[in-house]
Chain A
Amino acid sequence: MSESAIDPKTQFHADADVTTADTDRRAFVRKALGGYKTTRAKTESAFTDWEQAREAASAIKYEGVNHLDTILTQFETNFTARGGKVFWASNSQEARDYILGLCAEKGVKSIVKSKAMTSEEIHLNAALEEKGYGVIESDLGEFIQQLKKEAPYHFVFPCMHLKREEISALFEKEIGSAKTDSPEELTMIARRFMRRHYLEADMGISGANFIIADTGMISITENEGNARLTCAHPRIHVALVGIEKVLPRLADLALFLPMLATGGTGQNMTCYNSMYAGPRQEGESDGPEEFHVVLLDNHRTRLLADPEQRDALHCIRCGACLNVCPIFKNIGGHAYGTTYQGPIGSVITPHFKGLQDWKHLSGASSLCGACTEACPVKIDIHHHLLHNRRNAMKQKPVWWEKLLWQGFAWMMNRPRLYSLAIRIAPWMQKLHPIVFGSVLDPARGWTQTRDLPEMEPQSFSAWMKARKEGRK
Chain B
Amino acid sequence: MTGSRDAILGRIREALRVEAPHHAHAKIATGNAPVTAPFREWLPAVGPTEADRVALFARLSEMLKTEFIECADMTSAAVQLHRLVSENGWKKIAIHDGKLMNALLAKTDGTLETMSADGSYDKFEMEQCDAGITECECLVAQTGSICITTWSSGGRALSVLPPHHIVIASRAQVLADLTSAYELLAQKYAGKYPSFISFITGPSRTGDIERILVLGAHGPKKLTVLLVP
Contact between B7 and A90 (Cβ–Cβ < 8 Å)? Answer: yes
Main secondary structure of the interface of B (DSSP, over half): loop
- Bound together, the chains give a CA A343 to CA B2 distance in angstroms of 34
Contact between B32 and A228 (Cβ–Cβ < 8 Å)? Answer: no
Contacting A88 at CB < 8 Å: which of B4, B15, B16? B4
Contact between B204 and A87 (Cβ–Cβ < 8 Å)? Answer: no
Q: Which chain A positions have C-beta within 8 A of B145?
A: 269, 273
- Bound together, the chains give a CA A49 to CA B21 distance in angstroms of 24
A301 proximal to B (CB < 8 A): yes
Contact between B127 and A195 (Cβ–Cβ < 8 Å)? Answer: yes
Contact between A255 and B205 (Cβ–Cβ < 8 Å)? Answer: no
Contact between A69 and B198 (Cβ–Cβ < 8 Å)? Answer: no
Contacts between the two chains (Cβ within 8 Å), count: 318
Q: Which chain A positions have C-beta within 8 A of B212?
A: 183
Contact between A232 and B1 (Cβ–Cβ < 8 Å)? Answer: no
Contacting B210 at CB < 8 Å: which of A183, A217, A278, A307? A183
Q: A72-B9, A254-B177, A281-B195 are in contact. Are A187 and B24 (CB under 8 A)?
A: no
A17 proximal to B (CB < 8 A): no
**In the complex, which residues 1-49 of chain B have their Cβ closer than 8 Å to any Cβ of chain A?**
1-5, 7-9, 11-16, 18-26, 28, 30, 32, 34-35, 37-45
Contacting B199 at CB < 8 Å: which of A66, A72, A273? A273
By the criterion of a CB under 8 Å from any partner CB, how many residues of chain A are at the interface? 113
What is the 8 Å Cβ interface bit string for chain B, positions 115-130, against chain A (1 contact, 0 not)? 0011111011001000
A327 proximal to B (CB < 8 A): no
What is the 8 Å Cβ interface bit string for chain B, positions 178-200, against chain A (1 contact, 0 not)? 11011101100000011111111
Contact between A274 and B196 (Cβ–Cβ < 8 Å)? Answer: yes
Q: Which of B75-83, B100-108, B148-156 contacts A (4 or more CB under 8 A)?
A: B148-156
Contact between B204 and A271 (Cβ–Cβ < 8 Å)? Answer: yes
Contact between B34 and A271 (Cβ–Cβ < 8 Å)? Answer: no
Contact between A287 and B155 (Cβ–Cβ < 8 Å)? Answer: yes
Contact between B208 and A258 (Cβ–Cβ < 8 Å)? Answer: no
B110 proximal to A (CB < 8 A): no
Given contacts A139-B208, A186-B209, A187-B214, 13 further A-B contacts (CB under 8 A): A55-B25, A56-B42, A73-B9, A88-B3, A88-B7, A141-B206, A217-B197, A223-B204, A229-B218, A271-B204, A286-B155, A301-B15, A383-B23
Q: Which chain A positions have C-beta within 8 A of B202?
A: 271
**In the complex, which residues 86-138 of chain B have their Cβ closer than 8 Å to any Cβ of chain A?**
96, 117-121, 123-124, 127
Q: How far, in Å, is B60 (CB) from chain A's closest CB?
A: 7
Q: Which chain B positions have C-beta within 8 A of A66?
A: 16, 19-20, 30
Contact between B157 and A224 (Cβ–Cβ < 8 Å)? Answer: no
By the criterion of a CB under 8 Å from any partner CB, how many residues of chain B are at the interface? 92
Q: Which chain B positions have C-beta within 8 A of A65?
A: 20
Q: Which of A2-10, A245-253, A399-407, A442-450 contacts B (4 or more CB under 8 A)?
A: A245-253
Q: Which chain A positions have C-beta within 8 A of B12?
A: 68-69, 72, 243, 301, 304
Q: Which chain A positions have C-beta within 8 A of B41?
A: 48-49, 52
Choose among A138, A226, A279 the residue with the greatest number of B CB atoms under 10 Å from its CB: A226
- Bound together, the chains give a CA A65 to CA B155 distance in angstroms of 33
What is the 8 Å Cβ interface bit string for chain B, positions 39-78, against chain A (1 contact, 0 not)? 1111111000000000000001000000000000000000
- Bound together, the chains give a CA A94 to CA B2 distance in angstroms of 11
- Bound together, the chains give a CA A285 to CA B117 distance in angstroms of 7
Choose among A65, A82, A198 the residue with the greatest number of B CB atoms under 10 Å from its CB: A198
Contact between B20 and A56 (Cβ–Cβ < 8 Å)? Answer: no
Q: Which 8 A-B pairs have the closest CB atoms?
A: A225-B219, A378-B24, A224-B217, A254-B178, A305-B15, A141-B208, A56-B39, A301-B11
- Bound together, the chains give a CA A402 to CA B209 distance in angstroms of 49
